C-alpha cells in the first residue's frame, strides 16, 4: 500500500486530458434529479466538505437563504458554521444530549429530511443547488471520483470505471458530454483528488487524541481539533472553558 505522500504525488501528476477522455467514454449529463443531494433510505446525505469550503459557503449566495435549524451567524450577513457543516457522523455515538465523541472531517449540513441544506426543488420536482457557484468540489465532480488511496468514494461503490476514473450511481451516466465540459469536470476532479490527499495528510499530521467530555464532539481536520461549531479547541481560552 502506497503512502499518502506517494498517492499525492500521483494525484498531482494526473493528466487532465486523460481524465477527460475517461469521462467522455463513460458519458455524463446532469438531469437535475437531485438524488445526489438527498438522503437515501433514512440515511442522511453525507458529503465531505473541506474547512476552507465551509468558510466560503458561510458567505455564499443568499446568506439569508437555506440554512439549518440554527439562526445564529458569525458575522453580519454570514451563515453560522453549523448552518453549513456538521461533524462527520462516523465514529460518534448517541448520548443523552445528542451525538458525542471524536470524529474526522466535516459533512455538509442537512435539513430535517436528511437532504443537503442547500438543495432546492421547484414545483415540478427539478432540483437545484442554492450555492451552485460555490459548491464543494465533491459536489462539482459527482458522480466521478479518482481511484487512488486516500480519496473518497461518494455514494457507495463504483458502478463503472475507466482507467483511474470511477463513476458512481447516477441516472445521468452514459449520456453524451461536450469535450469542454469533460475537460472542466476533469480539472475539478484532479483538484479534488489532490485536495483530499492534502487534507488526509494534514489530519494525520495534526491529530492528537483528546479527552472528550460526555455530550460533546471533537472534530479533527487538517487545521487541528475543533468543536462541533467549528471553533479551534486550541484557541485562547477554549480548552479552559471545556
**What single DSSP character describes residue 132?**
G
Residue 62's pLDDT band (cuts 50, 70, 90): low
Which residues are CB-neighbours of 39 under 8 A, at least 6 positions away? Answer: 45, 110, 113, 114, 115
Cα 12 to the center of its chain, rounded Å: 20
The number of domains in the chain is 1
Q: Does residue 71 carry a pLDDT above 60?
A: no
* Residue-level pLDDT at 225: 96
Q: Give the mean model confidence (pLDDT) for residues 219-232.
A: 96
| pTM of the predicted protein model | 0.86
Average pLDDT over residues 170-182: 97
Overall average pLDDT of the 217-233 stretch: 96
Site of grid cell 495534526: 206
Judged against a pLDDT cut of 70, whether residue 77 lies above it is answered with no
pLDDT score recorded for residue 72? 44
For residue range 23-46, what is the model confidence (pLDDT) as tens digits? Answer: 999 999 999 999 899 887 667 788
How far, in Å, CA of 117 to CA of 20, rounded?
30
Looking at residue 124, its pLDDT comes to: 81
Spell out the residues 6+ positions from residue 215 whose beta carbon is closer than 8 angstroms to its own: 95, 96, 97, 98, 100
Range of the domain at 14: 4-241
Amino acid at each position: 500500500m502506497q503512502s499518502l505522500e506517494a498517492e499525492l504525488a500521483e494525484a498531482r501528476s494526473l493528466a487532465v486530458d486523460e481524465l477527460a477522455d475517461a469521462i467522455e467514454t463513460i458519458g455524463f449529463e446532469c438531469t437535475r434529479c437531485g438524488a445526489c443531494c438527498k438522503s437515501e433510505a433514512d440515511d442522511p446525505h453525507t458529503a465531505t466538505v473541506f474547512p476552507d469550503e465551509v468558510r466560503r459557503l458561510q458567505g455564499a449566495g443568499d446568506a439569508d437563504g437555506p440554512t439549518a435549524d440554527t439562526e445564529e451567524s458569525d458575522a453580519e450577513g454570514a451563515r453560522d458554521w453549523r448552518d453549513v457543516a456538521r461533524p462527520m457522523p462516523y465514529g460518534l455515538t448517541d448520548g443523552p444530549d445528542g451525538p458525542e465523541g471524536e470524529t474526522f472531517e466535516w459533512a455538509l449540513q442537512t435539513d430535517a429530511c436528511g437532504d443537503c441544506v442547500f438543495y432546492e426543488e421547484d414545483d415540478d420536482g427539478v432540483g437545484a443547488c442554492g450555492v451552485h457557484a460555490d459548491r464543494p468540489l465533491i459536489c462539482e465532480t459527482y458522480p466521478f471520483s479518482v481511484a487512488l488511496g486516500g480519496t473518497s468514494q461518494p455514494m457507495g461503490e463504483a458502478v463503472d470505471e475507466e482507467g483511474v476514473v470511477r463513476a458512481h450511481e447516477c441516472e445521468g451516466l452514459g449520456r453524451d458530454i461536450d469535450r469542454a465540459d469533460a475537460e472542466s469536470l476533469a480539472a475539478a476532479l484532479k483538484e479534488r483528488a489532490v485536495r483530499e490527499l492534502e487534507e488526509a495528510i494534514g489530519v494525520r499530521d495534526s491529530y492528537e487524541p483528546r479527552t472528550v467530555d460526555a455530550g460533546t464532539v471533537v472534530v479533527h481536520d487538517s487545521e487541528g481539533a475543533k468543536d462541533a461549531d467549528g471553533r479551534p479547541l486550541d484557541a485562547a481560552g477554549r480548552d479552559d472553558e471545556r
